[in-house]
Structure 1
Amino acid sequence: MPAPSPLPTYLYKILPAAPPSPLPARLPLSDLDRNDGYIHLSTSEQVPGTADKFFGSVSELWLLKIKYEVLAAGTDGDGDVKSEDKAEVKWEEVGRGCFAHLYGGDLGKGNVESVVKAEKKGSWFESLSLEW
């Protein structure tokens, strides 16, 4: 499935717990990401649904806000773009839509723009308003 048009300015990684502060060059992978072989990412429109589906029972989430163009350029968590084996964003069909997956790279201080703490008030759909 093709990438959304227009492409998002930001992608988000949902975390159920606060990441280390300051962010390291390489954040540890979640069990799901390690098992699937890529890092699961969401657009601003997808975050509330993903949060409700997978994190519905928690009252706080942390979101890594990542500029799409930084990931699309192959920027790894340490901020470097490798000439070989560079990280790649692929848009792939998943049951309820087309999601961004990061292959061959890590998230960290070199490609995460900011960390956003979100508190649930009602559902995540009611609680989140993120920048596209």
Structure 2
Amino acid sequence: MLKSLMGLFSKASSSAGASSSAPPTYVYKLVTHPTVNQRYAFPIPIPASHEFAISELDAKASGDGFIHLSMADQVQGTLERFFPQDQIVTLLKVDFGRLAGFKVVKWEKASNGQEYPHLYAVSLEGEYIDSFRELARGDEGRQPWAEVIEKARREGWLQH
């Protein structure tokens, strides 16, 4: 059953214009760090049943009913656009195959012309999270997000 669902996903993501011909292994969800807003705190280890708080951006899009996600190569732009003043954020690494096997993910074009994965669900649960990482800007928050992201790539954590 799962194999046939994944086959359907491969066809759907190709026709929906996913960034590459093969589906990604991971997509990412940027979350406000709990030191900025305690409502985004989550237990560690993350229980499979844990539901992550909906971000303000996702709440604004709630009329459309989706949660914003990013591909690995889109994380930097998302940080620069929506978290320009934050010194630290949490990045959730989401198992895309598992997520797409059980939830609706659509690839939709944003105002910048890029296609982003949008999770059409009421919530994102812990069972889909592979791991998470705190991304912190050094130099009292003046370090560019590009340098922080490059470090995560070099360390092999930020993957496609």
**By the TM > 0.5 criterion, same fold?**
yes
Which structure has the highest helix share of the two? Answer: 2
In 1, Cα distance between equivalents of 2:99 and 2:123: 10
Using the alignment, how far apart are the partners of 1:119 and 1:32 within structure 2? 21
TM (norm. structure 1) is: 0.82
Query: What is aligned with 1:55?
Result: 83
RMSD: 1.6
Structure 1 window deviating more from structure 2 (17-26 vs 6-15): it is 17-26
Aligned to 1:103: 120
Q: 1:2 aligns with which of 2, 10, 17?
A: 17
Select 1:65's aligned residue among 72, 80, 93.
Answer: 93
**Runs in 1 of length 4+ with deviation above 3 angstroms?**
none
Pairing 1:41–2:66 present: no
| Structure 1, gaps ≥5 residues long | 75-86
TM-score scaled by length of structure 2: 0.69
Could you tell me which amino acid in structure 2 is paired with residue 118 of structure 1?
L
Indicate if the aligned counterparts of 1:40 and 1:102 stay in contact, CA closer than 8 A.
Answer: yes
Farther off after superposition, 40-49 or 116-125: 116-125
SS at match of 1:92: strand
Deviation per CA, 1:32-73: give whole Å up to 9, x if none. Answer: 212312100001100011101111111111001011101110
* 1:30 to partner: Cα distance: 1.3
> Partner of 2:5 in structure 1?
none
8 A contact 1:88–1:105 mirrored in 2: no
Which has the larger strand fraction? 1
Match of 1:26 among 51, 70, 92: 51
Q: Which runs of 5+ in 2 are unaligned?
A: 1-15, 35-40
Q: How many residues align?
A: 120
Distance change >3 Å, CA 10–CA 113, structure 1 → 2? same
Q: Deviations over 1:65-85 (max 9, x none)?
A: 0111011101xxxxxxxxxxx
Provide the residue aligned with 2:110 in structure 1: 94
Partner of 2:137: 120
d(CA) in 2 for partners of 1:111, 1:53: 25
